[in-house]
Amino acid sequence: MEVSRRSFLKASAAAAALAAAGVTLRPGSALADEAGVTWGKAPCRFCGTGCGVLVGVRDGRIVATKADPEADVNKGLNCVKGYFLAKVLYGKDRLTTPLIRKNGRLVEASWEEAMTLIASKFKESIDKFGPDSVAIYGSGQWTIFEGYAASKLFKAGIGTNNIEANARLCMASAVTGFMTTFASDEPMGCYDDLDHGNTFFLWGANMAECHPVLFSRMLDNRLNNPEVKIIDFATRRTRTSLMADRYVRFNPQTDLALLNAMAHVIIRDGLHDPKFIENHVVFKKGKEKIGYGLQDKFKFADEPQLIDFQAYREFLKPYTPEHAASLSGVPAQTIVELAHLYADKNRKVVSLWTMGFNQHTRGTWVNNLVYNLHLLTGKICQPGQNPMSLTGQPSACGTTREVGTFTHRLPADMVVSNPEHREKTAKIWGVDPKKIPAKPTYHAVEMFRAFDRGDIKVLWSQVTNPFQSLPNLARYRKGAHKGEGRFLVVSDIYPNRSTELADVVLPSASWVEKEGAFGNAERRTQQWFKMVDPPGDAKNDLWQTMELARRLGYGSLFPYSYPEKEIWEEYRKFGEGQGKELAPYEEYAKHRGLRWPVVNGKETRYRYLEGEDPYVKSGEGIKFYKNKADHYKAVIWARPYEPAPEVPDHQYPFWLCTGRVLEHWHTSTMTGRVPELRRAYPEAVCEIHPDDAHRLGIKHLGKVKVSSRRGSVVLTADLHGRGRSEKGNVFVAFFDEAKLINDLCLDAYCPISGEPDYKKCAVKLEKA
């Protein structure tokens, strides 16, 4: 039965819709409680965990949120950001009306005036310079519907592949890692592995702060099972390190050498699984010394070559524990011990990582190398035995990766360069296949370089804050400031460091002010209905995109009366028969999410595994069925250690690493409006090892000037905080809009994925 998309606007309508859909809420809790609060379900607005939240509405306003005890992901637990979701939408400076820059100032305007101006700029640029002169930059915070509409408009309407998303800055290396190893994006396992595993290797992942609910789930497993071990591989001590059984410090960039050394030990000591390797694995090598993307218009194409097990073994020979120790600082004996722990047949191993691997100039390689350990030992595709890449945004998976809102991608792992994929896409979209360009244009960093150069004339940013979040930030802010020949549109909910540069600012609806769907890191798609109206004249990004399409003459691409549901049913067609199946739209109202592929109404917990994955037939055991080119086998890659493009020297003797903290999310556009979160962590600080600080005369809570070859920022020094940088390293969170630490970062990137490295550049410290 169809569930009304407006079913949460009134308690009676909500009750009827949910009862018809078979949805239940918290036992003993009525939809409209004695306080007159109506409760609805939604996934959390923040990280890619996908926690279930119950949202309480009274008199058209969110008055409370609480963790959903029936949600499989978080089981009734939220992190501190999730507990303050009710306040995120109600900051005093919420954008409520369009703004247009006139005489250097942003002034209020009507939607008609704003959209007329935007459409005229798009038309003018396309007519004069061609379709590739306009672009859209979105987000892993786009709903699935919003990302799908943007991709359809730009690729099938305007006829350009100039669409990118900020997930390129955080998850692109995970995508290329999955694609090059398994020929399909996203994990084979799920969060259930946190309950079933007993050996957890965390690689550069401060889960205690960045994925606290999942980390709590892991700790709960350890409380109930004394055999559980947590190993924290990291370049700084964090709250995660404090709760791990073992903290293993390594020098930045040397995770490549460590992983190869562990593979070396596993094979040397006969700990690998020859039968699994024979049945399920091929070996390959690619290009080496592949560059760092520091030059504009940098191009790279890998050249994979098949090798055999013996050639791979020869490749690993130099990576002895002693050699890896000399590079990484990890003792050789520790490397041997942990390699044996990975391979121990009596232990169930889960590897987890986030930005430490992905924001890496060899991000694809390091993702490949952790898969190597699981493939060598056969510890994959089984409950409690899997590699798991965690995501940082609520729909980095569901929207940007699965919908394919990148220059080179189409939905369901398809790519624009494949004529069969363009043919299928064009048929579903109802356009001539020639309309969809066959050649990718710019990934995110190159897109903003093109805007700086003036090759892109009109840029629309939705649901993200690029002029705070990009690396080597000063270059791109100056590019936006150039003005002449460039036109910037920003859709957001609050003023930020991107809206201040915009020619037009569009006020957007957020979260439960609209109907939506997100997809999280375990392939779980979750849907929610609109619960409250957005403030003032704010409108959702789906409406904004379709309105531009109408004004540009592409309204026929969106012939929808109920856009969310109709887009969903159209989008589902891409995954049919591809191991990417999604359920009918109304099914998601009945559940706290479903993990794809969803076949015959049943979700899939473990991909590629007989008895779990419907694509694996009886007797096949494990089958990597997406990798047809390699006879349904996964790939073990020979990927070498290569140094970072910029390393500390006499002039700039420290490593700088950037990242997140518990209380704030990304650039704090939302969390910065919550007084409790702001008070808890009011400003970004510079974590310094006490010995380094003492040598430089820097005191705890004193001021320190941090400088790279690209810029400087003055921060408060933190010598005794929750995190502790190792000697020769400093850490700064990037949430603080008053202290743009990304000015200092290098915009080098992985040549395969295009993802920049925010974790490694050289800086100097001076007492300020």
Residues annotated as catalytic are 81, 170-171, 355, 392-393
Count Cβ atoms below 10 Å from residue 225 Cβ, excluding itself: 12
Amino acid at 598: V
| Alpha carbon distance 112, 98 (integer Å) | 9
| CA angle (565 as vertex; 562, 566 as ends), nearest 5 | 75
In the DSSP assignment, the letter for residue 631 is T
Q: Which two tokens stand for residue 696?
A: 């430089």
Helix (H, G, I), strand (E, B) or coil at 67: strand
C-alpha Rg value of the chain to the nearest Å: 25
Give, for 707, the enclosing helix (H) or strand (E): strand 703-707
Whether 160 and 154 have beta carbons less than 8 Å apart is answered as yes
Nearby residues of 573 by Cβ (< 8 Å), 6 or more positions away: 428
SS (H, E, C) 545-603: HHHHHHHHCCHHHCCCCCHHHHHHHHHHHHHCCCCCCCCCHHHHHCCCCEECCCECCEC
Q: Buried (b) or exposed (e) across 481-516, using 16+ Cβ within 10 A?
A: eeeeebbbbbbbbbbbbbbebbbbbbbbbbbbbbbb
Question: Which of 35, 129, 227 has the alpha carbon at shortest distance from 486?
Answer: 129
Task: Give CA torsion, residues 268, 271, 277, 278, to 10 deg.
Answer: 80
Going from the C-alpha of 254 to that of each of 175, 348, 495, 563, the distances in angstroms are 21, 25, 40, 48
Instruction: Reduce the DSSP state of residue 110 to 3 states and report it.
Output: coil
List the structure tokens of 402: 């699965």
What ranges in 90-229 are assigned the alpha helix state H?
A: 111-129, 144-151, 172-182, 193-196, 207-210, 212-224
Residue 291 CB neighbour total at 10 angstroms: 16
Q: Are 713 and 704 within 8 A, CB to CB?
A: no
The secondary structure of 175-213, three-state, reads HHHHHHHHCCCCCCCCCCHHHHCCEEEEECCCHHHHCHH
Contacts of 591 (CB under 8 A, 6+ apart): none
- Triad 622, 624, 626: Cα angle to 5°: 150
| Measured distance CA(469)–CA(179) in Å, rounded | 26
Which one-letter DSSP state was computed for residue 409?
Answer: B
